[in-house]
Chains A and B, each alone.
Chain A
Amino acid sequence: MSTELAIETTGLVKVFGENRAVDGIDLAVPTGTVYGVLGPNGAGKTTAVRMLATLLRPDGGTARVFGKDVVKDADAVRSRVSLTGQYASVDEDLTGSENLILLGRLLGHSKPAARDRADQLLDGFGLSDAAGRQVKNYSGGMRRRIDIAASILNTPDVLFLDEPTTGLDPRSRNQVWDIVRAVVAHGTTVLLTTQYLDEADQLASRIAVIDHGRVIAEGTKGELKASVGAGTVHVRLREAGQRAEAQKVLALALNTDVQTEADPVALTARMEGQSSDRGAAEQAGRALAELARCGITVDNFSLGQPSLDEVFLALTDKKGVAA
């Protein structure tokens, strides 16, 4: 069962004038999982999602949702997918409740059924108190919620979430994550685009990294992290005079290059080739002990996850070497 593909694209292409926004993307998304599409602004994430959601016609390649072609069988695809776009896909002039009743009617519910469903959704999403207010007066977090509520009015088989937490405060972001987890637990396949590595990390089981309209890396979270190194060690020393010695000790203990920062007491090292966080932490711990043994006083020490910047630098570096 789980081997059936919810979404499958081969050589998907979309060209806007001179710009190849999507330049040959292959994706295979297993049913019932959260698939993360990670990339910076302008990487082609939104364009790819819009093609999958039947909003844009591909200029090349094919895209299928549950085996149905998004161009030839668009109506069959539409009956099984929902899209929550980067900008709220609800009518700002209408109230939250009117929006959901409108959609309920358009999805074929009778008037009373649409009203009931709207009430249930507003209640479940904690929006009952705002039901009678126009959506244009909603806060960012509320908009996202009403938007996702609209997307699951009929529980979809595939839910496209295009940067669902961009611009949200941490609290609203956590709420959106909870909602996504609930939706997936029900069996819906979610395709999530994001610029944030930790978001993909929290939710997605597989991740494709996209840049300039191409997939530059694809795999499980573990695979992806292993390919870009386990993270970065930041060290602040008490004495600037000990930095040169500390650099040597760290380079030896971590078996990697150690960079000096503009701050005269700071050092940074990117950890390479670790397959799990625990390995990296152990290695960093040993390095710390080694510094203490050599009589170097450390004021501050941290081990950070690779940031998206680092993922990209690492991935594009690798591509450069391979080419």
Chain B
Amino acid sequence: MSTATDRTDLEDVVLAEPDRERLSALLVGQDRPPRPSALSASLTFGWRAMLKIKHVPEQLFDVTAFPIMLVLMYTYLFGGALAGSTEEYIQFLLPGIMVMSVVMITMYTGVAVNTDIAKGVFDRFRTLPIWRPAPMVGYLLGDVLRYLLASFVMLTVGMIIGFRPDGGVLGVLAGIALLVVFSFAFSWIWTMFGLMLRSEKSVMGVSMMVIFPLTFLSNVFVDPKTMPGWLQAFVNNSPVTHLATAVRELMAGEWPAADIAWTLGWAGVFLVVFGVVTMRLYNRK
């Protein structure tokens, strides 16, 4: 045997020929099951997202290393100057930086949709008789897991460097739950851009343009009271500010009803507006 033959071992040369009789047997006598429910189809697409994480685990870099970097960077950069000490500052910063990081991470959804849609597999999904939004919902279900992972990574780092939330386990979990719900709804902006824009690069570009002002112009880093009036007007009404306040107070053991309501209200608006636009684009693609 020559080396050339050995090299083809991985090719289909070693595989069996498709067997005609067995093939024919595959085609007859099968009943068509009823179409799956919307929930079942969405969960199946969520399972696909899990499998993709399993096969390409390095994609979790942005929900592990990146958030750790942000926590450490801002705590030690601003801590002394803004709150007198890093221990003081982390109590204020951690819930906010968690909000900022997870909201930032949502933009990878758009990139994933954009690269995926260009591949042939989307043609197959779109010719299946299933609930139309299921592939998109499936993405976001996979992303919810990423948001949870990022939140817990940051929480762990925060605890190590001195974050001690008064709200206890329940308060922290409530804060993370609200953050994940908001991020799920907010992600529909990115599915829209993922479908609308032509390349991965333009999706990244547009995402940055939206996400940087939106997350920085908020109360994540400092109390807005020192800002000029016009900026306060924007910051105090930004969904990120409402979310950051709600998460911060939930983790501190309080019940910020107004900010929770505002956050859920914004989430509803994002979901309805961008969900509808996403599905229109998806059907027209």
Contacts and interface: CB of A to CB of B under 8 A. Distances in A.
Interface of A: 50, 53-55, 57, 75, 78-79, 81-83, 85-94, 98, 102-103, 105-110, 113, 117, 120-121, 123-130, 134, 137-139, 141-142, 145, 150, 152, 154-155, 172, 175, 178-179, 182-183, 185-186, 188
B26 A124 contact: yes
A178 B20 contact: yes
Interface string B82-113: 00000000000000000000000000000000
B124 A150 contact: yes
B1 interface: no
Contacts of A106: 36, 41, 44-45, 125, 128, 130, 134
Nearest to B31: A154
Contact of B27 (A92, A105, A123, A186): A186
A103 B51 CA distance: 14
- Complex A-B, nearest 7 residue pairs according to Cβ-Cβ distance, in ascending order: A108-B33, A126-B16, A89-B124, A87-B120, A186-B27, A79-B129, A78-B129
Contact of B24 (A123, A150, A186): A186
Contacts of A85: 120, 123-124
Contacts of A120: 26
B213 interface: no
Contact of A142 (B12, B36, B44): B12
B11 A139 contact: yes
A125 B23 contact: yes
Interface in B238-265: none
Contacts of B128: 78, 103, 106-107
A55 B126 contact: yes
A31 to B, nearest CB: 16
- From B32, B51, B127, name the one whose CB has the most chain A CB atoms within 10 angstroms: B127
Nearest to A105: B44
Given A89-B121, A90-B124, A127-B15, A75 B55 contact: no
A102 B34 contact: no
B123 A89 contact: yes
B15 A134 contact: no
A108 B35 contact: yes
Contacts of A103: 124, 128
Given A53-B127, A107-B35, A188-B27, 5 more contacts: A88-B121, A89-B121, A107-B36, A124-B25, A129-B14
A175 B12 CA distance: 12
Interface secondary structure of B, over-half rule: helix
- From B14, B120, B124, B128, name the one whose CB has the most chain A CB atoms within 10 angstroms: B124
A48 to B, nearest CB: 15
Given A79-B129, A106-B128, A175-B17, A113 B27 contact: no
A105 B285 CA distance: 24
Contacts of A94: 48, 51-52, 55
B35 to A, nearest CB: 5
A54 B49 CA distance: 25
B13 to A, nearest CB: 9
Given A78-B129, A81-B127, A102 B36 contact: no
- From B35, B55, B123, B128, name the one whose CB has the most chain A CB atoms within 10 angstroms: B123
A107 B40 CA distance: 10
A103 to B, nearest CB: 7
Nearest to B36: A108
A90 B32 contact: no
Contact of A91 (B30, B41, B48, B284): B48
A121 B127 contact: no
Contacts of A130: 12, 15
B228 interface: no
B205 interface: no
B138 to A, nearest CB: 10
Contacts of B48: 91, 94, 102
Contacts of B17: 126, 175
B22 interface: yes
21 contacts: A50-B123, A53-B127, A75-B129, A88-B121, A89-B123, A94-B48, A94-B51, A103-B128, A105-B36, A107-B33, A109-B33, A120-B26, A124-B18, A124-B23, A124-B26, A129-B16, A137-B10, A138-B12, A155-B27, A182-B23, A183-B27
Contacts of A75: 129
Contact of A126 (B15, B28, B121, B134): B15
B192 to A, nearest CB: 19
Contacts of B124: 83, 85, 89-90, 103, 150
Nearest to B284: A57
A87 B121 CA distance: 9
Interface in B60-94: none
B1 to A, nearest CB: 19
A38 to B, nearest CB: 22
A85 to B, nearest CB: 5
A141 B16 CA distance: 12
B52 A152 contact: no
Contacts of A79: 32, 35, 129
- From A86, A103, A106, A178, name the one whose CB has the most chain B CB atoms within 10 angstroms: A106
A93 B55 contact: yes
Interface string B111-144: 0000000011101111111100010000000000
